Every structure is written in C-alpha cells, then in structure tokens.
Structure 1
Amino acid sequence: MIIYTDANACPVKQEIDTLASENHLESYFVFTFAHVTNRTYYSTSIVLDTDAEAVDLYIYNHVKPGDVVVTQDNGLAAMILQKGAAAVSPRGTVFHYRDIDMLLLGRFEGIRAKQGKTKIKGPPAISKEDRCRFVQALERQLQ
C-alpha cells in the first residue's frame, strides 16, 4: 500500500507524514513548482511542472488498487476510485465508488463556474475537528 497526496494545497501533510512513518509505509507528496516547500518530510516529494493537471495525471498514472490517495479534488477522487484505490479528503471524507457521478458533476460545475469568471468562495479553514476526522479516516484506510 502506498499513500499518494495531492499536496499542492493540502493542509494535513504533517498528519499524513506521521501516519506513513509510524506505519512504515511508502508515501509521496506530489507538488507543482508553485507549491514547493523547504520542509523536510518522511514522505518523498515529487515536484512537477505547473501544468494544470500535472499532479492529477501523475497520481492517476502511478496509483494501483489498494493504494490510498489524499485529495480535495473531486475529479481526481473519481478517477482514483475507478482504479480500485481509496480516496480521502483532508477533512476526513472517504469517497465511495457510488459517489463517482456526484463527484464528476461537482467537478464539471466548478470548471463551468471558473470559465464564466464566477467567484467561488473556498472552503472554510480546516478545523481541529477536521484534522481529527481526517486522521481517523486515514487510519481506517491503512488497516
């Protein structure tokens, strides 16, 4: 089992890193150049060009059934589920195969809103409860 993280704007990298280290799991933080950090992690950092879907494509091309992907991206979550891997959001939502149509619709609506120059308010800051829910969800996936 490998953990792949869509790490560009991931607020729970430390939690992922701790769980990967404690469980002696292979773990990758996949970034674009625009989001590189100088922090040192147990997880291996993969740095890619800033192409729009570079991180998604890298993860999609490397993930295998039984792996776990941490992402806030509904489209990536839907693709991962179709490959037989697990997908978890940084807020602790575990995505399920039955949710693929809804995830893709949400992705489509988000893209349409951006094309129409609609301002979309981002999610609220991640809370302590969100972090706890995430850790619990990821631990369940790792068992």
Structure 2
Amino acid sequence: MTVYVDADACPVKAEAEKVATRHGVKLFLVSNGGLRLSQNPLVEVVIVPEGPDVADIWIADRAGPGDVVVTGDIPLAARCVETGARVLKHNGERLTEANVREALAMRDLMADLRSADPFRQGGGKGFTKADRSRFLDALERELRLAK
C-alpha cells in the first residue's frame, strides 16, 4: 500500500504525511518542482520534468489496487480509479467508479463555460478548515480500508 500525492498546488501535503506516517505507509509527493525534501524516511519527493501532465502520468503509471491517490485533477483521478486505486480530492471527497464520470463531465462543462465567457472573474470556493478536517478523516478511513 502506497499513498501518492499530486503535490502541485496541493493544500494537504502535511496532513497526508502525518496520516501516512501514523500508518507506516510510504508516501510519494509528486511535483514538477518547488517542494522541500522531507526528513521522514517514509516520504519520497519525486520531481518530474516540466511538461503537461508529467506528474499525473508518473502517478497513474504506478498507482493500483490498495493504493491511495490524493489529487484535485479529475482526469488523473479517473485513470487511477480505473486501476483500482482509492482516490481522494483535497477536501476529502472520494472519487469512485460510481461518481468519477460525473465529475469529469462537470469539469468539462465548467471549462466550456469559462471559455465562453473570457471576462468571468473569480473561481471556485476557497479551501477551508472544514475541508482540511474532512480530508484528514477521509484519508484515515481510506488507509484503514485499504489494509
């Protein structure tokens, strides 16, 4: 069992490390740069080359049944769900075979709406303490279930 974190712009890296360490599970923080190395022997920082989706490809090529993937990237989540990995978004929402296609469709719809209105300002809602707490609970639950 391994935890893979799509670490670019991930707000819960420290929380993922904390929970993985408590369970004695290897954690990969995958990014194209800008991460500090961890002194934790269970944590490996993987710096991939620059390029579109290189970190996603690295994770998707390795994640499988029994692993947990933490990502906000819906196409990556869909690929990992297909391989049997458990997938969590940063807010603790679990993506499964039952809901990942809907999440992909919503992502595509929102991209179409944004491109149709280039003057639209703002983005999604901010990341909250409640989101962080839900993530901690969800990762704890997923690691227990994966064992």
Map 1:1-143 onto structure 2 (within 5 A): 1-33=1-33, 36-38=34-36, 40=38, 42=40, 43-112=43-112, 118=118, 119=120, 121-143=122-144
Q: 1:106 to 1:41 in 2, by over 3 A?
A: farther
Residue 114 of structure 1: how far off its partner (Å): 6.3
Residue 135 of structure 1: how far off its partner (Å): 0.5
User: Contact (CA 8 Å) 1:17, 1:41: kept in 2 or not?
Assistant: no
Distance 1:114 1:8 in 2: 22
Identity over aligned pairs, percent:
29
When normalised by structure 1's length, the TM-score is 0.88
Residue 104 of structure 1: how far off its partner (Å): 2.0
When normalised by structure 2's length, the TM-score is 0.85
Residue 38 of structure 1: how far off its partner (Å): 2.6
Residue 109 of structure 1: how far off its partner (Å): 3.2
Distance 2:79 2:97 in 1: 10
3-state DSSP class of the match of 2:35?
A: coil
Runs of 4+ aligned residues of structure 1 deviating over 2 Å after TM superposition are 37-42, 106-125
> Structure 2 unaligned runs (5+)?
none
Structure 1 window deviating more from structure 2 (130-139 vs 40-49): it is 40-49
RMSD: 1.9
Q: Which letter maps to 1:15?
A: E
Q: 1:41 to 1:5 in 2, by over 3 A?
A: farther
Aligned residues: 141
> Structure 1 unaligned runs (5+)?
none
Distance 1:130 1:60 in 2: 25
Distance 2:129 2:30 in 1: 24
User: Contact (CA 8 Å) 1:8, 1:32: kept in 2 or not?
Assistant: yes
Residue 37 of structure 1: how far off its partner (Å): 2.3
Q: 1:122 to 1:39 in 2, by over 3 A?
A: farther
Structure 1 window deviating more from structure 2 (71-80 vs 117-126): it is 117-126
